Amino acid sequence: MKKILIVIFGVFILMQLIRIDRSHLTIDKGKDFASNEIIPTDVRAIVKRSCYDCHSFETNYPWYANVSPVSWWIKGHINEGRKFINFSIWETYANEEKSRKLLNSLAYIKPDMMPLPSYISQHPEAKLSVEDKKILNEWMMEEAKRLDPNLEKEE
Ligand code: HEC
């Protein structure tokens, strides 16, 4: 029994040698969603608070992101999240793409699938209130239609 514990502990210590890449990339404010003054302040504030840890280059890592293998799991979410939407490079997306990402966001926000529930349990401040959802819904819907005029015709 003691041997097994020593082995488990040894593996855990070795895991700590594999670090995740936490480098902070420089933010180009000209491309950043939250820095875009044309977008309403409340919309930017909500997205920054609830989505930026996984969907931007501005991730705030919790202390346990220093502990492998939890850190690998967290980094997986961030890599995946950034692949789908990266609000730090929002202005590099074409209009139709932005429009699609906004509609997708709404589809995930409504049933509380985003922010990820496992994240909310650790970050209650990121939970979207009914009011937050209403603000996002109104703006994202309008903006999606404005960016992709074909949407309305398809409806
Ligand atoms: C804890 C990290 C995390 C947070 C916070 C988070 N997301 Fe995500 N998001 C992910 C991951 C991981 C994926 C890709 C895998 C998946 O779909 O579950 C994703 C995927 C998405 C997708 C793409 C779904 C698809 O399949 O097209 C949308 C849209 C999205 N997120 C919107 C948001 C919005 C909007 C917020 C803020 C209200 C948010 N997310 C907050 C981690 C996160």
For residue 38, how many other CB atoms are within 10 A of its CB? 5
CA-to-CA dists, residue 98 to 53, 58, 102, 129, angstroms: 19, 20, 6, 24
* Closest atom of ligand 1 relative to the 53 alpha carbon: 5
For residue 44, how many other CB atoms are within 10 A of its CB? 19
pLDDT at residue 150 in the model: 87
Residues of the chain with pLDDT under 50: none
pLDDT at residue 16 in the model: 92
**CB of 34 closer than 6 angstroms to any ligand 1 atom:** no
pLDDT at residue 154 in the model: 60
**CB of 77 closer than 6 angstroms to any ligand 1 atom:** yes
Both tokens of 133, joined, read 């959802």
For residue 90, how many other CB atoms are within 10 A of its CB? 21
pLDDT at residue 27 in the model: 87
* Closest atom of ligand 1 relative to the 46 alpha carbon: 38
Tell me how far apart the alpha carbons of residues 52 and 54 are, in angstroms, rounded to a whole number: 5
**CB of 52 closer than 6 angstroms to any ligand 1 atom:** no
pLDDT at residue 22 in the model: 84
